[in-house]
Amino acid sequence: MRRAFTLLEVLLAIGIIALLAAILLPVINGAKVGGQVTAAISNAKQLTEAALLYSADVDGNAPPSTAYNKKEALRKVWPEMLKQYVKSDALLTAPGAAPVPSRRYSDRGYLSWGLNADTAVNSSGCQGVSPDGVPCEGYRKALNLDVLPSNSVLFATTPGGDPEQRYCGHEFEPNNGTRELDDASMSPPLVSDKDLVKVLPMLPCTALRPVYARYGSTGQDDGRAVLGLLDGSAKAFTSKQLSAGTAKLVWRLRRAKG
């Protein structure tokens, strides 16, 4: 006759299982985050390559993150302008983010990859560079990529969501951070591993457009953002690294000198 388990044995078994789960769960989560970062780096490289191919076809000019004066609604944001260069629409969604509903201008906020807003064009926008702390709604002349340093940031992971809720995921604003460096072009933008659109409800979309360090987010800026750089590479950095400027990247492209 089989002996029944005693209460002590059952409790001991439950304790062992709980201990193993506590040990393995961080490992499993870490592997998941690592896989997402690897996939995001691949996406960023492909998006950057698409932007560079576009640029080569238009005399070195960058694809605009937003083309405010375009009559066709579809071609007001970069995904449609890069359509022939992007291999798959799946690249428009950063790994781990919600899928993009469509390429329509009205759905631009749902994008989780943002193109640097210093590429935006607007015939009534800024003439030269954005005043410190006052981001421009586009610039009057297209940005030429041929004169920029290779460590210039083109793409970055962004928070995506309903545009009616102040999300502008299709671009990130490089001029919304505090200027702390001698070289203004390297002053970092707003970046966090928290969704700042939710955290800062008093600010409009135009004052936000942050970089989102979504991978491995702890709420303490340990999460990583993935960036696509002008040299065709893509890299991941923690929010702390980017905010401190230790990544040595050029963000404010209109102020950069090649």
Which pLDDT does position 2 carry in this prediction? 57
Pairing of strands 139-139, 121-126: parallel
Q: Contact 139/121 with Cβ under 8 angstroms?
A: yes
Tokens 């492209």 -> residue = 253
C-alpha 51/C-alpha 251 separation (Å) is 16
Where residue 24 falls among pLDDT bands split at 50, 70, 90? low
Min mean pLDDT across 25-29, 216-220, 233-237 is at 25-29
Which pLDDT does position 30 carry in this prediction? 57
Which pLDDT does position 194 carry in this prediction? 96
User: What is the average pLDDT across 31-55?
Assistant: 92
Where residue 240 falls among pLDDT bands split at 50, 70, 90? very high
Q: Contact 255/148 with Cβ under 8 angstroms?
A: no
Mean pLDDT, the chain, rounded, equals: 89
Which pLDDT does position 182 carry in this prediction? 81
The pLDDT of residue 38 is above 90: yes
Where residue 162 falls among pLDDT bands split at 50, 70, 90? very high
The pLDDT of residue 99 is above 80: yes
Q: Contact 44/234 with Cβ under 8 angstroms?
A: yes
Which pLDDT does position 203 carry in this prediction? 85
The pLDDT of residue 212 is above 80: yes
Which pLDDT does position 1 carry in this prediction? 53
Domain ranges across the chain: 7-255
Find the helix or strand (DSSP H, E) in which 15 lies: helix 7-57
- Higher-pLDDT residue of 71, 57: 57
C-alpha 249/C-alpha 136 separation (Å) is 21
Find the helix or strand (DSSP H, E) in which 123 lies: strand 121-126
Which pLDDT does position 134 carry in this prediction? 76
User: What is the average pLDDT across 51-79?
Assistant: 90
The pLDDT of residue 204 is above 90: no
Which pLDDT does position 177 carry in this prediction? 87
Which pLDDT does position 73 carry in this prediction? 66
Tokens 């780096």 -> residue = 41
Which pLDDT does position 92 carry in this prediction? 93
Where residue 64 falls among pLDDT bands split at 50, 70, 90? very high
Pairing of strands 153-157, 113-116: antiparallel
C-alpha 81/C-alpha 223 separation (Å) is 31
Q: Contact 133/51 with Cβ under 8 angstroms?
A: no
Which pLDDT does position 130 carry in this prediction? 84
Distances (CA, A) of 120 to 63, 205, 253: 8, 15, 11
Distances (CA, A) of 28 to 21, 41, 98: 10, 20, 21
Give the type of residue at 241. Answer: Q
The contacts of residue 185 (CB under 8 Å, 6+ apart) are 250, 251, 252, 253, 255, 256, 257
Q: Contact 73/105 with Cβ under 8 angstroms?
A: yes
The pLDDT of residue 10 is above 70: no
C-alpha 97/C-alpha 214 separation (Å) is 9
Which pLDDT does position 104 carry in this prediction? 82
Which pLDDT does position 69 carry in this prediction? 87
